[in-house]
Structure 1
Amino acid sequence: MSSTLPTIASPRKLSTAERAFVAANQWLIIGLMGSMAVLVFVNVVSRYLFNHSIIWVEELTQYQMIWVTWTGAGLALREGRHVAVDVLEGWFPPLLQRIVRTAIALIMLAFLVALAWYGAQIVAFSWNQETPMMGIRTGIPYLGIPIGAVVFGLHLLLFFNDFVGRRFEVADEATAEAG
């Protein structure tokens, strides 16, 4: 088992820009998750050994989780990790399966555009408010929503044909462990 990022198993060759985009997204998630783990660990140690909690850690890690969730959704799509009900799709002939998956992808794109639009409005509305503990603009944590929607949309656009053809980028775990 390797400690590096997952190997791309896509049937197509990714461009340098797309590989860089995916890698930057992966490293963002790794950085946020790693810093969350360190912050929570330090806060627990501080609370139980020194009877003192770092008051802003809980708030910051909640905001980091918002960013991890929204910016990681596109990566999960590429890896086929979103929950999908595809029982009915299996009953269709291959051409109809592609049509259904194309419609699904287009509906997802429309939803992501709306999410980015309304997320930006939430950011603008909350920009002049401050968070309770850290005192930063409330719009900063909420930026994860429109940015995540745009990142997810970019993943979907770059991955569109593979999504429609059900070709995901990370082999299933049994294949990965065997290889």
Structure 2
Amino acid sequence: MEIAALGLGRLATAALWLAAAALVLMTVVIAAQVVFRYGLNSSIVWSEPFAVILMGWFIFLGAAVGIREGYHLSFDILLFVLPERVKLILYSISDILVIAFGFGMLWYGGQLAASAYEVKLPSLGVSGAVDFAPLVGGGALIVIFSLERLARRAAGLPTSRFGDAAEAAAETREG
């Protein structure tokens, strides 16, 4: 289980680095577009669709990592008064619903990509399926990371809820 967690941790780290790189690259492309349009009275025709694709990647990769790490918004007030076993059941139900959502992203994003495969994006000269690749990739990672959370919870391991994984892991190793 720990080897799989290490591999998924590396996958999450890689996804986070890719998301950060996409954000930085998008910022550079938009800044260049502003300079070209208003400073040089010219325009970079591919900047807007390319920036939108990059935005899709950093949003969906970041969302998947956020799900793995437990950083998404939640309404936990009820959980303060419930027994630990009930909390674990509710967390598992939540993860199952997130898996269904991620699978929907993967499935329907794949259908959208397949339907746009023959279409060429004129300003980029690539297949229209590229527009939907972040949806498919993000959905796949959401499914994988949510399954990991369920497996870790079933094994009695910490699920990285609200960033406390390092502390919980240390307690597990010491105990």
TM > 0.5: yes
Structure 1 residue 124: Cα displacement: 0.7
Give the number of equivalent residue pairs: 159
**Is 1:115 the counterpart of 2:105 in the alignment?**
yes
What residue is the counterpart of 1:8 in the other structure?
Answer: none
What residue is the counterpart of 2:161 in the other structure?
Answer: 166
CA deviations 1:140-163 (Å, max 9, x no partner) are 120111111111222222333234
Measure the CA separation in 2 of the matches of 1:41 and 1:170: 38
Q: Contact 2:71 / 2:161 at 8 angstroms: preserved in 1?
A: no
Give the residue type in structure 2 aligned to 1:22: A
What are the ranges of 5 or more consecutive residues in structure 2 without an aligned counterpart? 167-175
Measure the CA separation in 1 of the matches of 2:77 and 2:59: 27
Measure the CA separation in 2 of the matches of 1:135 and 1:147: 21
Structure 1 residue 101: Cα displacement: 0.7
The structure where helix makes up a greater share of residues is 2
1:31 to 21, 24, 35: 21
Q: Contact 1:78 / 1:169 at 8 angstroms: preserved in 2?
A: no
Query: Mapping of 1:35-46 within 5 angstroms?
Result: 35-46=25-36
Measure the CA separation in 1 of the matches of 2:120 and 2:80: 50
What residue is the counterpart of 2:169 in the other structure?
Answer: none
Change (3 A) 1:100 1:19: closer
Measure the CA separation in 1 of the matches of 2:25 and 2:49: 13
Structure-1-length-normalised TM-score? 0.78
What residue is the counterpart of 1:95 in the other structure?
Answer: 85
Query: Mapping of 1:66-85 within 5 angstroms?
Result: 66-85=56-75
CA deviations 1:82-108 (Å, max 9, x no partner) are 121122222322111111111111121
Greater relative CO, 1 or 2 (CA 8 Å, sep 6+)? 1
CA deviations 1:11-67 (Å, max 9, x no partner) are x89854233212211221121111111111111112222111211101110111111
What residue is the counterpart of 2:119 in the other structure?
Answer: 129
**Is 1:155 the counterpart of 2:150 in the alignment?**
no
Give the residue type in structure 1 aligned to 2:58: V
Measure the CA separation in 1 of the matches of 2:17 and 2:3: 21
What are the ranges of 5 or more consecutive residues in structure 1 without an aligned counterpart? 1-11, 172-179
RMSD, matched Cα = 2.3
Structure-2-length-normalised TM-score? 0.79
Give the residue type in structure 2 aligned to 1:99: I
What percentage of aligned pairs have identical amino acids?
Answer: 25
